[in-house]
Amino acid sequence: MGKTVDNVLFPTRNVQEEGGERRKHHIIACSHCPSEATARAATGAGGLGNEMLTRKFTRLGWYVSRSPGGHLCPTCNPTKERAVLTVVRSEPEKEEPVAQPTPVTVRDMSFADRRIINSKLEEVYENELLGYRVGWDDEKVARDLGVETAWVTELRGQNFGPARGNQAIIEIQTEQKQLRKDLEAFRAEGERLTKRVIALGEKLQATGLANAA
């Protein structure tokens, strides 16, 4: 009769059961701590195979290694630990690519640009003492011609003078203009009154009362 070969992956030993009887059990021992688990060995021919024992211990939470020194109990089982510690993280939202603004290419000032700007400045710029005429400035000239404001500023500074003239002179000129308007108004009023006096005189002559006056 041949010798019974013990199961190398799950060795057996006699274990005392609750009734006090000692029976042969397959043992699985944790390689990281003293924990053990047992499964009663089958008494029939062939006993429990490794495959069946593996399924049994796996259902109990054990990690069953292919070598006897690598088993892990449910507490030390890395698969179980990963299952507990794995946190489902939502993937960060992908940012939509931001369209980069197309760089605006500013063309260089041409000779034609210089001519039309200088011509317009001749029209709307008074002199270096007074600056622009009322209602005009660099920006308005640029809008009127459809050119860059910087070009107008450059040519006005080079060929004409400051955008704003001497403030004291401007104030004096403004006052002069207002006085002329007032004089025109007085002159008009004097003419109106003169015409009224003449009309009244003619009316008196018509009624024969001129001598009484």
- For the stretch 16-51, pLDDT in tens is 777 778 888 888 989 889 888 888 877 665 556 788
Task: Give how far Cα 142 sits from Cα of 147, 152, 165, Å.
Answer: 5, 6, 20
Q: Percent of the chain beyond pLDDT 70?
A: 77
Give the whole-angstrom CA distance, residue 41 versus residue 37. 13
Quickly list H helices, the chain. 50-59, 78-85, 111-124, 138-145, 149-159, 167-207
Position 113 scores a pLDDT of 92
Q: What is the pTM of this model?
A: 0.35
Which residue, 15, 24, 21, 19, is CA-closest to 43? 24
More confident residue, 172 or 109: 109
Position 152 scores a pLDDT of 95
Task: Give how far Cα 105 sits from Cα of 47, 90, 117, 138, Å.
Answer: 88, 43, 21, 21
Query: 125 φ, ψ to 5°?
Result: -100, 125
Q: What is the pLDDT of residues 64-82, one digit of tens each?
A: 888 777 888 888 887 654 4
Q: What is the band of 86 on the pLDDT scale with cuts at 50, 70, 90?
A: very low
Q: What is the pLDDT of residues 107-137, one digit of tens each?
A: 889 999 999 999 999 999 998 888 999 899 9
